Copies of this chain bind each other. A is one copy, B any other.
Amino acid sequence: MSARMKDIAQDLGVSLMTVSKALRGHSDISEETRRRVVNRARELHYRPNWIARSLVTRRTYMVGLVIPDLMHSFFAEVAKGVGRKFGPLGYQVVISNSEENPEAEARQIEVLLDRNVDGVIIASAQSHIRSELFRILEKRETPYVLIDRMPTGFEGHYVGGRDEEIGMLATNHLIDQGCKRIAHLRGPVISPGSGRLRGYRRALAKHGLDAPLDYVASGLYEDGSGYEGMRKLLQLKKRPDGVFCYNDPVAAGAIKAILEAGLTVPGDIAVIGAGNVHYSDLLRVPLSTIDQSSSVIGETAAELLAQCIEAAKKPLPPKRVFIAPRLVVRESSRRK
Contacts and interface: CB of A to CB of B under 8 A. Distances in A.
A249 to B, nearest CB: 8
A105 interface: no
Interface stretch (A19-27, A77-85, A208-216): A77-85
A52 B56 CA distance: 9
Interface string A45-73: 10111111011000010000000001101
A319 interface: no
A42 to B, nearest CB: 14
A114 B49 CA distance: 7
A70 B76 contact: yes
A289 to B, nearest CB: 14
Interface stretch (A148-156, A158-166, A190-198, A252-260): A252-260
Given A115-B92, A256-B282, A282-B223, A71 B77 contact: yes
B94 A94 contact: yes
A175 interface: no
Nearest to A79: B70
Contacts of A93: 94-95
Interface of A: 2, 45, 47-52, 54-55, 60, 70-71, 73, 76-77, 79-80, 83, 92-95, 97, 111-116, 139-140, 223, 249, 252-253, 255-256, 278-279, 281-285
20 contacts: A50-B114, A51-B51, A51-B54, A51-B55, A70-B70, A70-B76, A70-B80, A71-B77, A92-B111, A93-B94, A94-B94, A94-B95, A95-B95, A223-B279, A223-B282, A252-B279, A252-B282, A279-B279, A279-B283, A284-B285
